Amino acid sequence: MNLKEKSAIVTGGSLGIGAAIAKKLASLGANVAINYRKHDAEAKEVVAEMEKMGVKGLAVKADVSSFADAQAMADKAREAFGGLDILVCNAGINWDGVIWKMTEQQWDKVIDVNLKGYFNYARAVTPGFRAQKYGKIVNVTSINGLRGKFGQSNYTASKGGIIALTKTMARELGNKNINVNAIAPGLIETDMVAAMDEEAKEKSRKEIVMGRLGQPGEIADAVAFFCSEMSRHITGQVLNVDGGQLIA
């Protein structure tokens, strides 16, 4: 795979899966802009690592739930790189609770970040992608958006919404040579998973037929495939990267 002369935005790129995706795309030759909200030092470290690979890196402090921030970041990336070809929407949060106890704030915050955030960045980049008749959009969702998960009505609704958004954008943008696909991770070894209740984590681990948690780099490899020309005739698809967790 070769992404030389391509430029990308990766949301939530300072930590975990997002950082792994950003560095993977950079290793294939792409210039990469990442957004972050709180982790300044980590974002700078990711940019430094990417620049050591001989590409341009950019870190932008931006709230993905802000329409204006997304537009501004897309403009900064285009200016810094001379264009934009790839969007990877990855930023997400969870704030769990059963439906009869969930607050309006819990619901709104998760939907704003996890679903509206994807719309914000798609809206920011797609006019340019359409004009140049080229683009790759990869949305990171979750297997729980396909099956539901007890205590996660806000999270699973947002992740299911991402899948529907992916399929709709694929229909709307395909005639302009823009591929839109999604990756659905299972249980991946990240800070979010580390913070899970141990009993819940063990229950999820037992679902994985390959017997281990996934690694952020394994999600990054799948994203890179969808960003490359190897996937040029694939659009509107959801690829589960879950060690068989969903089929268990």
* Phi, psi at 35, each rounded to 5°: -110, 155
Sheet of 178-185, strands arranged across: 57-61, 31-36, 7-10, 86-89, 135-140, 178-185, 238-241
H or E stretch at 59: strand 57-61
Task: Identify whether the C-beta of residue 241 lies closer than 8 Å to the C-beta of residue 216.
Answer: no
**Are 126 and 48 within 8 A, CB to CB?**
no
Instruction: Choose among 243, 230, 219: nearest CA to 23.
Output: 219
Residues recognised as catalytic:
155
The closest alpha carbon to 188, from 220, 146, 145, belongs to 220
Q: Give the span between the Cα atoms of 226 and 208, in whole angstroms.
A: 24
- Helix extents (H) in the chain: 16-27, 40-51, 67-81, 104-111, 117-132, 144-147, 153-173, 191-194, 198-207, 216-227
